[in-house]
């Protein structure tokens, strides 16, 4: 059966750049070719290089086009985020959702000429779980994956994982040829079954990647171009110049500052709200800062921010003010919670006084120039207006490590908006990555258990209840949902992918 997956994609969009890459590139063309109706060359601009081509250590998000060019995934997702067949044509859970049975296609071959079968898929799943890659935790609940026959894979879980099907549409579902497992160049020479093959002779690792159409691909309707070139621009000025010079057909953007100039060059904006920006009030138990254990102090922080002004100043208005961390596509989303804490500095001061801090409080935060020095100044100013003093630690190269150690009670960092279970595991549960103080609340834990184990209706209601509880108790101080923008030229169309930093490769197409 094809059960609908209620969780959707996660991963965050890069919000800063670290180096300049100067690319002397010629112009590009996506005009139709004479070969079977596909177009000639698509040139894509990306803001990160491929960290690896080894499936077990792969990243997704901004790196997903590299992986999608050369690999297939066990399942796929459509542009509504719903799970669809991929290498697996059917999937079915047992009653308690701890055993997932996958039925595979039998007409797929790797580019080394070997057949893609259940044993290869099972091995890839185990390798991803054990591979120490950045998203290995996606399969942490998997006890085993075995081939029960040539077309059938059985996955067993310690506990139900409501996001598993979604993860199998992402890097956890990538399938690499077993012949590459022990290859010395596994990091740079992919062997998959995808729509394209990496042209290693034409590729300059870290700068420009060239992919040629796989003539034996099992799903030719996903091959819209004969060749795809992916060029890396980590500097926004270099990217803007590439757009102005017609050196790319489609590109992600580092930020929204250059959208108007790109549009003036004939490009079209394709927006998607991907992240939320604001403060994560991590020390809710007062482990480091006792004041933050008082819900009125956390609520005061929420009332202190003029979210409309922050959005206009920091993001040029590209986004939507909010006070909830769940996105509109989520079952947890409640439109009324977008305005739960309207800007009210007088209310903030009143709550601080009621909490016993009429003379103000001081909070410690980390800062990073990569997130914009002016943003940290605005945070300091807005909170100072209500009597909260912000002291920043010395900026350094260990920003994320300091946050997750944890070294600070509060942090500003734009974070992902994903599907319900994915967001819970990333941000909310006692073991979540961005819950480094391991806040554990009986009410929250009860809602999480229902999201995990309840019926579809029970899970959706529990997600809504959880969202409201988090807003009421001010676990976070969101300001807005930020707009990510993907740009396309006059020859290129695109459909954006919910929850992913860039559209999926097969959804970038030539205009007729």
Residue-range definition of the domain harbouring residue 497: 39-267+489-510
What's residue 17's pLDDT?
Answer: 27
Specify whether 429 is located in the same domain as 505. Answer: no
Q: Is 468 a domain residue? A: yes
Q: Mean per-residue pLDDT for 356-361? A: 97
What's residue 8's pLDDT?
Answer: 31
Q: Is 343 a domain residue? A: yes
Specify whether 257 is located in the same domain as 287. Answer: no
Confidence of residue 38 (pLDDT cuts 50, 70, 90): low
pLDDT tens column, 369-396:
878 889 999 999 999 999 999 999 987 7
Q: Which comes out higher in pLDDT, residue 368 or 281?
A: 281
- Residue 257 predicted with pLDDT over 90: no
β-strand partners of 115: 109
Strand bridging mode 250-252 / 39-46: parallel
Number of domains observed in the structure of the chain = 2
Q: What does the mean pLDDT of the chain come to? A: 91
pLDDT tens column, 149-175:
999 999 999 999 999 999 999 999 999
Specify whether 332 is located in the same domain as 246. Answer: no
What's residue 433's pLDDT?
Answer: 87
Specify whether 373 is located in the same domain as 504. Answer: no
- Residue 417 predicted with pLDDT over 90: no
What's residue 26's pLDDT?
Answer: 33
Specify whether 375 is located in the same domain as 301. Answer: yes
What's residue 132's pLDDT?
Answer: 85
Q: Is 12 a domain residue? A: no
Q: In whole angstroms, how large is the CA radius of gyration of the chain?
A: 23
- The domain that contains 284 carries what CATH number? 3.10.105.10
- Residue 505 predicted with pLDDT over 80: yes
Rounded to whole angstroms, the Cα distance separating 189 from 282 reads 41
pTM: 0.84
Rounded to whole angstroms, the Cα distance separating 87 from 100 reads 15
User: Helix 442-453 to helix 456-472 angle, to the nearest 10 degrees?
Assistant: 160
Specify whether 497 is located in the same domain as 476. Answer: no
Q: Of all residues in the chain, what percent carry a pLDDT higher than 90?
A: 84
Specify whether 250 is located in the same domain as 359. Answer: no
Q: Which comes out higher in pLDDT, residue 7 or 141?
A: 141
Q: Is 346 a domain residue? A: yes
Specify whether 56 is located in the same domain as 156. Answer: yes
Residue with tokens 């259940």: 118
- Residue 400 predicted with pLDDT over 90: no
Cβ atoms of residues 174 and 75 within 8 Å: no
Strand bridging mode 508-510 / 492-494: antiparallel
- Residue 45 predicted with pLDDT over 50: yes
Q: Is 195 a domain residue? A: yes
**C-alpha of 196 from chain center:** 24
Rounded to whole angstroms, the Cα distance separating 308 from 302 reads 13
| DSSP per position, 10-52 | --PPP-----------------B-SSTT-EEEEEEEESS--S-
Q: Mean per-residue pLDDT for 31-47? A: 69
Specify whether 258 is located in the same domain as 336. Answer: no
Residue with tokens 């599907």: 419
Q: Mean per-residue pLDDT for 53-74? A: 96
Q: Is 34 a domain residue? A: no
Q: Is 246 a domain residue? A: yes
Specify whether 301 is located in the same domain as 220. Answer: no
Q: Mean per-residue pLDDT for 2-23? A: 30
Q: Lowest-confidence range among 26-30, 87-91, 129-133, 181-185?
A: 26-30
Cβ count within 10 A of residue 65? 22
Q: Which comes out higher in pLDDT, residue 492 or 11?
A: 492
What's residue 43's pLDDT?
Answer: 98
Specify whether 422 is located in the same domain as 503. Answer: no
Cβ count within 10 A of residue 242? 19
- The domain that contains 77 carries what CATH number? 3.40.190.10
- Backbone dihedral angles phi then psi of residue 171, each to the nearest 5 degrees: -70, -25
- Residue 137 predicted with pLDDT over 90: no
Residue 421 host element (H or E): helix 420-423
Residue 270 CB contacts under 8 Å (≥ 6 apart), including other chains: 485, 486, 487, 488, 494, 496, 503
Q: Mean per-residue pLDDT for 215-237? A: 96
Specify whether 258 is located in the same domain as 302. Answer: no
Cβ atoms of residues 192 and 176 within 8 Å: yes
Q: Is 188 a domain residue? A: yes
SS3 sequence, 65-115? HHHHHHCEECEEECCCCCEEECCEEEEEECCCCCEEEEEECCCCECCCCCE
- Residue 27 predicted with pLDDT over 80: no
Rounded to whole angstroms, the Cα distance separating 507 from 64 reads 13
């Amino acid at each position: 059966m094809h059960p609908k997956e209620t969780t959707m994609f996660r991963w965050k969009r890069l919000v800063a750049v670290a180096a300049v890459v100067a690319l002397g590139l010629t112009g590009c063309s996506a005009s139709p070719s004479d070969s079977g109706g596909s177009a000639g060359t698509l040139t894509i601009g990306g803001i990160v290089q491929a960290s690896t081509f080894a499936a077990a250590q792969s990243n997704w998000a901004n790196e997903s086009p590299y992986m999608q060019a050369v690999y297939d995934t066990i399942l796929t997702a459509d542009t509504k985020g719903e799970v669809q067949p991929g290498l697996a044509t059917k999937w079915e859970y047992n009653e308690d959702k701890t055993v997932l049975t996958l039925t595979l296609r039998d007409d797929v071959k790797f580019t080394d000429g070997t057949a893609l079968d259940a044993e290869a898929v099972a091995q890839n799943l185990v390798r991803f779980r054990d591979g120490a890659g950045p998203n290995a935790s996606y399969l942490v609940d998997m006890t085993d994956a075995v081939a029960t026959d040539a077309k059938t894979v059985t996955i067993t879980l310690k506990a139900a994982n409501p996001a598993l099907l979604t993860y199998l549409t992402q890097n956890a579902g990538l399938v690499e040829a077993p012949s590459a497992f022990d290859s010395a160049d596994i990091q740079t020479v992919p062997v998959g079954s995808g729509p394209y093959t990496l042209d290693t002779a034409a590729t300059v690792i870290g700068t420009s990647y060239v992919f040629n159409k796989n003539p034996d691909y099992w799903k030719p309707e996903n091959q819209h171009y004969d060749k795809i070139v992916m060029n890396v621009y980590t500097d926004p000025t270099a990217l803007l110049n590439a757009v102005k010079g017609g050196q790319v057909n489609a590109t992600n953007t580092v930020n929204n500052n250059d959208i108007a100039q790109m549009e003036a060059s004939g490009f079209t904006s394709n927006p998607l709200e991907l992240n939320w920006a604001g403060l994560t009030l991590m020390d809710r138990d007062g482990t480091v800062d006792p004041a933050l254990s008082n819900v009125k102090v956390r609520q005061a922080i929420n009332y202190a921010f003029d979210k409309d002004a922050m959005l206009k100043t920091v993001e040029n208005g590209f986004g939507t003010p909010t006070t909830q961390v769940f996105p509109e596509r989520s079952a947890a989303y409640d439109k009324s919670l977008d305005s739960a804490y309207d800007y009210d500095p007088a209310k903030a001061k009143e709550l601080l006084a009621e909490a016993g801090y009429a003379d103000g409080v001081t909070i410690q935060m980390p800062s990073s120039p990569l997130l914009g020095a002016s943003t940290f100044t605005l945070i300091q100013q807005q909170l100072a207006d209500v009597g909260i003093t912000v002291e920043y630690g010395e900026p350094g190269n260990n920003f994320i490590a300091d946050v997750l150690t944890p070294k600070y009670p509060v942090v500003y960092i734009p974070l992902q908006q994903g599907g319900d279970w994915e967001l819970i595991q990333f941000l909310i549960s006692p073991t979540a990555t961005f819950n480094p103080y391991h806040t554990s609340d009986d009410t929250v834990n009860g809602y999480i258990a229902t999201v995990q184990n309840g019926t579809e209706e029970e899970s959706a209601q529990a997600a809504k209840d959880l969202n409201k509880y988090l807003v009421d108790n001010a676990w976070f101080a969101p300001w807005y949902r930020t707009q990510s923008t993907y740009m396309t030229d006059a020859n290129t169309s695109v459909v954006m992918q919910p929850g992913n930093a860039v559209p999926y490769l097969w959804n970038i197409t030539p205009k007729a």
